[in-house]
Amino acid sequence: MSEPRLRAKELDAADGLAAQRAEFVLDEGGEAVYLDGNSLGALPVAVPGRVEDVVRRQWGELRIRSWTEGGWWTAPERIGDRIAPLVGAAAGQIVVGDSTSVNVFKAVVGAVRLARSADGAAGPAGPARDEIVVDATTFPTDGYIAESAARMTGCTLRPVPPSEVPDALGDRTVAVLLNHVDYRTGRLHDLPALTAAVHAAGAYVVWDLCHSAGALPVGLDEHGVDLAVGCTYKYLNGGPGSPAYLYVRAELQDRFDSPLPGWNSHAEPFGMRPEYAPAPGALRGRVGTPDILSMLALEAALDVWDGGGVTIEAVRAKSLALTDFFLECVEAYVPGGRVECLTPRPHGERGSQIALRCPDAGDVMKRLIERGVVGDFRHPDVLRFGFTPLYVGFADTERAARVLAEVLAETGA
Amino acid sequence: MSEPRLRAKELDAADGLAAQRAEFVLDEGGEAVYLDGNSLGALPVAVPGRVEDVVRRQWGELRIRSWTEGGWWTAPERIGDRIAPLVGAAAGQIVVGDSTSVNVFKAVVGAVRLARSADGAAGPAGPARDEIVVDATTFPTDGYIAESAARMTGCTLRPVPPSEVPDALGDRTVAVLLNHVDYRTGRLHDLPALTAAVHAAGAYVVWDLCHSAGALPVGLDEHGVDLAVGCTYKYLNGGPGSPAYLYVRAELQDRFDSPLPGWNSHAEPFGMRPEYAPAPGALRGRVGTPDILSMLALEAALDVWDGGGVTIEAVRAKSLALTDFFLECVEAYVPGGRVECLTPRPHGERGSQIALRCPDAGDVMKRLIERGVVGDFRHPDVLRFGFTPLYVGFADTERAARVLAEVLAETGA
């Protein structure tokens, strides 16, 4: 047995999170290695039974009674409170619902309005501010939605490479939209320092946590983040297209002015009043009727975080060990120069994925998937491998690198 | 047996849609009568198995492969095409996704932008138009969202009672948002005439079909409606919070300019380009990743429309027969003056519900539900009874009126 295979055995044996694997439906006994949890998390075993209960009993038998007796109506804030500890937020600041894109719109417009509603001297920003800064390497939807938010609030949108954001901030900056982890390269951005820089410039910051929530500590409250959004179908394993969430820092909630003030965000939703009056707290981020099936599947999926020893710190430690080990194995197996690692080596700059560039990445990923190593391909030349510590082990990781080397040896370049 | 009970037997025996009841999970053999399908449609029997397959096989086994091989990615437009014939739309004009509130925002902002992008002479509206007219009796969320749309497009919002809308239209009118059926009274508004009036004034119309789609013919294409939205959890039985839909008339799609241009509406979503380029056709109304569990439950629910003889015209005919019969039974059983019917008698002005006003409506509905007659209460004094012709029969209807009379005889007023 090769040295990396022996190391994998030792690492798996010492893995305090190894037992969590049993909480997921995987191809046990098969040869598949699922490294695409950064696109769609694997199915938690608790989900199918819960969904069946929601469909057959809550909908089929109780019907509308479930809105009150079954807890449907309060699901967005209840599930938000389940996500809160994973991203370092106290309760009462997160609501679940809508897609990430819709939440980016709420958050960016909300940030601009917060800046404009701030008192001249006391508050950070005045009405002269009209520039929204966005991470130039953002997942595209954030940029498209930020452009719309800029257009609809009389601002301009300025895309800036994340490393240059501090220098780009100034008197005109009203809001800044940043990705915590780059979807393509897996680079982790410095949330505490960038948040402080935005605040020092007198602007408001919105963080997109899609690729960090559930994979590493975020510390929203600790670092004074203003607003944040994220999806729940990656490292939170909520299922395909499961609802996203919105965080609004408690002190800002009374001034949060949503561009999508649907009836679910009304102070008295069943009062059916023609005048809008926003609810207090996180509920103000709700819009329309929540999609209960997807939402309660997510709630069941979050049960995997209730196991003993399952902390976000433990997950982060294993994530770094997995990606370190994957890079070691790639170096051991793959001839030098065949792939280029886009993911930073320093732990402080790495999310929970490894991105490898190679010219024939599309073909390589196709062959990898045929052999049971499932990552994904990002146009034009990137292989992405996501590591979900709750269900990926070190033997999986070694196998993925080994099969990658076999495929790369067969293919051109 | 009373005369209405005999009539009910005859009417049920002659009902061409009676067999469709078997397509739903109901309390057969029990005493319950479900007249709240205008809030949450009953569970179609096809849904639980389909959802289980989506969860266990498509998500649990195929995982990301389902986005392509399982048809997840194209679900919004595919399911839109299933809804299209029910609302009189040709294929390629409806996408499913997001909540009704979010779709109202897309549609109203879209309508304002359509008006403003129209050519001076040829187009109906110029840039001077700045007034959005909204049905003053609308379900509240439409008004709240229209107010936000007005604020973000430099317009003012003018609430107008539906009967006065034609007189309120003028040179300043840019867009008009109307409900096809009033959620409270069950009044059906004259979609062809109001649409023509809006067009004659040079403005664009948005129809909210929440309380008509699946209950009566809408004729979107025939009547030249510009944009429409609707939910799918009432007469379309999609399940709690199932995704809503957006209709954009084919000729307007190239100019439809969404305020929520998420990556799912991009011409090349996986190109991951920083510049936004809208997709052609109905896809332009998509936003973020679709919530697959809720969406595919809806798809299964739409199978009930595939049965022989299940046309929207047949459903409408039975709906009117049911509500006529309910009113007959109420008149036969309930002492005059105890309740006041808010729903218009003429068929051309009636949706698929009956709204009865009585001062103690909250208490009365509570007692009705305790005895198995499930309608709902709308603040402050309205009893709503929704009739879904695919699963409500005439014996149900007679029983509901009889129990109502018993409850009313016991309670004060």
B102 to A98: CB separation less than 8 angstroms, yes or no: yes
Residue A195 sits at φ, ψ, to 5 deg, of: -60, -45
Q: How far is CA B153 from CA A238, B109, B157, in A?
A: 36, 7, 11
Give the residue-averaged pLDDT of A394-406: 97
CATH of domain A3-30+308-410: 3.90.1150.10
A52 to B51: CB separation less than 8 angstroms, yes or no: yes
Whether A127 has a pLDDT exceeding 60, the answer reads no
Q: What pLDDT is recorded for position B126?
A: 47
Confirm or deny that B100 is annotated as ligand binding.
yes
Confirm or deny that A233 is annotated as ligand binding.
yes
Q: What pLDDT is recorded for position A58?
A: 97
The residues of B annotated with a catalytic role in the active site are 139, 208, 233-234, 384
The residues of A annotated with a catalytic role in the active site are 139, 208, 233-234, 384
Q: Which of A36, A243, A293 sits opposite B297 (nearest CB)?
A: A293
Q: What pLDDT is recorded for position B1?
A: 66
Confirm or deny that B263 is annotated as ligand binding.
yes
Q: Shortest Cα distance from B159 to chain A (angstroms)? A: 9
Residues of B in contact with A105 (CB under 8 A): 259-260
Whether A30 has a pLDDT exceeding 90, the answer reads no
Residue B274 sits at φ, ψ, to 5 deg, of: -70, -25
DSSP A84: G
- Segments making up each domain of chain B, as ranges: 3-30+309-410, 51-306
Residues of B in contact with A47 (CB under 8 A): 55
Fold of B51-306: Aspartate Aminotransferase; domain 2 (3.40.640)
Residue A306 CB partners (closer than 8 Å, separation 6+)? none
B376 to A148: CB separation less than 8 angstroms, yes or no: no
Q: What pLDDT is recorded for position A128?
A: 81
Burial B93-117 (b: 16+ CB within 10 A, else e): bbbbbbbbbbbbbbbbbbbbbbbbe
Count, residues in chain A: 413
Report the chain A residue with the minimal C-alpha distance to residue B100. Answer: A288
Q: Shortest Cα distance from B18 to chain A (angstroms)? A: 20
Instruction: Report pLDDT digits (tens) over A377-387.
Output: 998 999 999 99
Write the ipTM: 0.96
Whether A125 has a pLDDT exceeding 60, the answer reads no
Q: How far is CA A293 from CA A35, A52, A75, A343, in A?
A: 26, 10, 11, 36
Give the residue-averaged pLDDT of A267-284: 95
Residue B124 CB partners (closer than 8 Å, separation 6+)? B115, B118, B199, B202, B203, B204
Q: Report the distance separating Cα B19 and Cα B37, nearest Å.
A: 18
Residues of A in contact with B270 (CB under 8 A): 379
Q: Shortest Cα distance from B29 to chain A (angstroms)? A: 14
Low-confidence ranges of chain B (pLDDT < 70): 1, 28-30, 119-127, 413
Confirm or deny that B48 is annotated as ligand binding.
no
Q: Which of A64, A243, A263 sits opposite B376 (nearest CB)?
A: A64
B55 to A241: CB separation less than 8 angstroms, yes or no: no
Q: How far is CA B270 from CA A378, A379, A380, B17, in A?
A: 8, 7, 10, 45
Q: Report the distance separating Cα B137 and Cα B160, nearest Å.
A: 8
Can the peptide bond before residue A274 be classed as cis, meaning omega within 30 degrees of 0? Answer: no
Q: Shortest Cα distance from A21 to chain B (angstroms)? A: 14
Q: β-pairing, B33-34 with A204-208?
A: unpaired
Q: Which of B136, B271, B291 sits opposite A294 (nearest CB)?
A: B291
The two tokens of residue B54 are 């989506």
Report the chain B residue with the minimal C-alpha distance to residue A139. Answer: B272
Percent of chain B with pLDDT over 90: 93
Q: What pLDDT is recorded for position B27?
A: 80
A144 to B40: CB separation less than 8 angstroms, yes or no: no
Percent of chain A with pLDDT over 90: 93
A293 to B290: CB separation less than 8 angstroms, yes or no: no
Q: Report the distance separating Cα B106 and Cα A305, nearest Å.
A: 37
3-state helix, strand, coil in chain B (%, to 5): 45, 15, 40
Fold of B3-30+309-410: Aspartate Aminotransferase, domain 1 (3.90.1150)
Q: Shortest Cα distance from A140 to chain B (angstroms)? A: 6
Looking at every residue in chain A, the average pLDDT score rounds to: 95
Confirm or deny that A139 is annotated as ligand binding.
yes
Q: β-pairing, B353-357 with B227-230?
A: unpaired
Confirm or deny that B396 is annotated as ligand binding.
no
Residue A188 CB partners (closer than 8 Å, separation 6+)? A180, A181, A212, A216, A344, A348, A349, A350, A351
Confirm or deny that B289 is annotated as ligand binding.
yes
Instruction: Report pLDDT digits (tens) over A337-393.
Output: 999 999 999 999 999 999 999 999 999 999 999 999 999 999 899 999 999 999 999
Whether A321 has a pLDDT exceeding 70, the answer reads yes
B43 to A51: CB separation less than 8 angstroms, yes or no: no
Residues of B in contact with A40 (CB under 8 A): 59, 63-64, 67
Report the chain B residue with the minimal C-alpha distance to residue A243. Answer: B291
B266 to A147: CB separation less than 8 angstroms, yes or no: no
Q: What pLDDT is recorded for position B125?
A: 47
A98 to B100: CB separation less than 8 angstroms, yes or no: no
Amino acid identity, position A223: H
Whose tokens are 């051109």? That residue is A412
pLDDT bin (cut points 50, 70, 90) of residue A309 is confident
